[in-house]
Chain A
């Protein structure tokens, strides 16, 4: 199949179907409502489930129920909606249910705005809901990458029995780009008979299954948290993904940037190169697990004088970058959180100011 021109939000909806997920629960919120509009037409065509819930709180718990009985299921929302789902995300994480969340981030806090933002970095990577849990977080920088990340998210969520979040932004959701849906990324849902409440008759068993998050006994809760931690540690070992740019030069600055902001940074690196000034970039594709090792290694290159984190927020990922660089190089940050994406010229000025 060739490439077709699609809006990010619609492509994300189609990608889930192509991945083999036919169950979608959602609540409208700008700038991602087109996903629900698209799937309200598409799901009936493919015999899937589409339900517009009464709130994001309900959506989160519908996902809990549907995933708990063994179905592949996903939702899309934007920042304030993800805040409301965070209760359910905590329960889903504890009950170890595979669910895919897409957050088309808008400006915050509060109602914030409806323009692109990366201000939910902390919420996605450090929690949002209560308790010790982690989401596997992927950040696309194009509509094509959003499609592929959505398609990969379902088997990953099932591999770890853990929620996966795609952290996009308003630009990824709203812009149109050519996309294709790689057939090899379609996957069969895993067998969930050993834990899902899919009915004892369905799995020909006389043993009931239980989906829960309550452990009143301290030892049992400790044990449960260790099981979860082991999964997150395994993700750190196996799931780190990043892309590097212009690394085979004697770059003087290492840029760390993700998603939409990283596309501006590519132009910046090209323009600076034309001026005879080499910079390079590491673009985390997974925000959790975070590419700590590769960033440290890249920062340690002798020619590299500074590390600069560029993000569409007031400085969130910079904490992870500082942690990765471990004091070996100065780490600077620049970003905007109002909804404007900095221009290449603006970024170049900023980079030069650090020299």
Chain B
């Protein structure tokens, strides 16, 4: 019998360490499908962050580098500058990208580095046990904001897609979600566009993905999806924030 559905070649056979209901698995698969479809596995280098996805290289079947916390955009810059023919992407969470790595992502984006960033926003530090992140929602309880995020003390959650799209240089900035099939389909299109733009030699692209963290949110996977839709989507609005056409029109 012919196979009608199979694992992408860019994904390895190794079972992941991610928690049940975690959306990293979906995002890994989308990236792998896009890499297969574009036929670029042999010239792709991924950069894993510090956080839950630090071990992402175990689940892909192409070259990988593991960056220091937040520094993936600098590592990617180093690779892409000396080997512009390689296809390079960073895979980063919100603590990594929006907190300790804020400087690196902003400057890489502003220089128009020709790599792609997959930014997984689930509002908490996952790997270290659910501490408050720059993206933690107002009033959201975490292990370091047990009474809920107090914006009087720590400010409002950072909207990265909006922040980076305020820069003139970047080519493609979008925020999508991986909460339900309808979102996942759009997320894949966005990831594919980002890689295609890189193949065309256009500058920096970032795909922010609204995700869940059932373990650290203390919710079931299904409750997490509902919580994200009800609480994250009104604040982290989905959509295309910047496209290359706009950049060209300027």
Partners in one complex: yes
A323 to chain B, nearest CB (A): 32
Residues from 195 to 209 in A contacting B, C-beta threshold 8 Å: 197-202, 208-209
CA distance A69 to B64 in the complex (A): 9
Whether a CB of chain A sits under 8 angstroms from the CB of B145 is: no
Which of A53-61, A164-172, A229-237, A270-278 faces chain B? A53-61
A197 and B78 form a contact (CB under 8 A) = no
Spot the interface stretch: B54-62, B134-142, B191-199. B54-62
Q: Which of B60-83 contact A (CB under 8 A)?
A: 60-68, 71, 74-79, 81-83
The answer on a CB contact under 8 Å between B82 and A61 is: no
Q: A54 — which chain B residues lie within 8 A by C-beta? A: 103-104, 107
Which residue of chain B has the shortest Cβ distance to A207 in the bound complex? Answer: B61
Does A113 lie at the interface of the complex (its beta carbon under 8 Å from any beta carbon of B)? Answer: no
* Range of interface residues on B (Cβ < 8 Å): 20 to 34
Q: How far is the CA of A202 from the CA of B78 in the complex (A)?
A: 18
Q: Report whether B74 and A208 are in contact in the complex, using a CB–CB cutoff of 8 Å.
A: no
- Nearest Cβ distance between residue A36 and chain B, in whole angstroms? 15
Contact B81 A23 (CB under 8 A): yes
B57, B60, B65, B67, most chain A CB atoms within 10 A: B65
Q: Which residues of B contact A211 (CB under 8 A)?
A: 64-66
Q: Decide if B24 is an interface residue (CB 8 Å cutoff).
A: no
Contacts of B45 in A (CB 8 A): 69, 197, 199
Q: Would you give the 0/1 interface string for A36-79, flagging 1 where the beta carbon is closer than 8 Å to chain B?
A: 00000000000001010111011111111111111101000000
Residue B41, interface by CB 8 Å: yes
* A133: B residues at CB distance < 8 A: none
Partner of B82, one of A49, A199, A208: A49
Q: Does B81 contact A61, Cβ atoms closer than 8 Å?
A: no
Give chain A nearest CB distance to B27 CB in angstroms.
19
Q: How far is the CA of A61 from the CA of B85 in the complex (A)?
A: 20
Q: Does A101 contact B (CB under 8 A)?
A: no
B83 in contact with A212 (CB, 8 Å): no
- The interface residues of chain A lying within 8 Å CB-to-CB of B85 are 199
Q: Closest residue of chain B to A202, judged by CB? A: B43
Tell me which of B61, B79, B81, B107 contacts A208 (CB under 8 A).
Answer: B61
- Indicate if the CB atoms of B66 and A213 lie closer than 8 Å: yes
Q: For the complex formed, measure the closest distance between the CB of A229 and the CB atoms of chain B, giving whole angstroms.
A: 22
Question: Of B41, B44, B61, B78, which one neighbours A61 at CB under 8 angstroms?
Answer: B78
Question: Is A210 on the interface with B (CB-CB < 8 A)?
Answer: yes
A202 to B45, CA, bound (A): 12
CB-defined contacts of B55 to chain A, threshold 8 Å: 214
Question: Contacts of B103 on A, CB cut-off 8 Å?
Answer: 54-55, 57-58
Q: Which residue of A lies closest to B107 (CB)?
A: A54
- Known contacts: A211-B64, A214-B54. The answer to whether A73 contacts B78 by CB under 8 A is yes
Question: Would A200 and B66 be within 8 Å (CB), given that A51-B81, A62-B78, A66-B78 are in contact?
Answer: no
* Residue ID in chain B nearest A62 by CB atoms: B78
List the A side residues contacting B78 at CB < 8 Å: 25, 61-69, 73
Residue of A25, A65, A202 near B47 (CB, 8 A) is: A65
Chain A residue, CB-CB nearest to B84:
A49
Q: Please name all residues of chain A whose beta carbon is closer than 8 Å to the beta carbon of B54 when the two chains form the complex.
A: 214
> Does chain B have a CB within 8 A of A146?
no
Most buried by B among A58, A71, A87, A88: A58
Min distance, Cβ A275 to any Cβ of chain B, angstroms:
55
Is the C-beta of A91 less than 8 angstroms from some C-beta in chain B?
yes
B68 touching A61 by the CB < 8 A rule?
yes
A-B contact pairs, 18 of them (CB 8 A): A23-B82, A25-B81, A54-B103, A55-B103, A57-B71, A58-B74, A62-B75, A62-B78, A63-B78, A64-B67, A65-B75, A66-B78, A71-B83, A88-B68, A95-B66, A199-B44, A200-B63, A209-B63
- For the complex of A and B, 8 pairs with smallest distance between CB atoms: A65-B78, A201-B42, A61-B74, A62-B78, A65-B75, A197-B63, A66-B78, A54-B107
17 further contact pairs, Cβ within 8 A, besides A69-B82, A198-B86: A23-B82, A51-B77, A53-B77, A63-B78, A65-B65, A65-B76, A68-B75, A71-B83, A88-B68, A95-B66, A199-B83, A200-B62, A200-B63, A201-B43, A208-B60, A210-B63, A212-B65
* A interface, CB within 8 angstroms of B: 23, 25, 49, 51, 53-55, 57-71, 73, 87-88, 91, 95, 197-202, 208-214
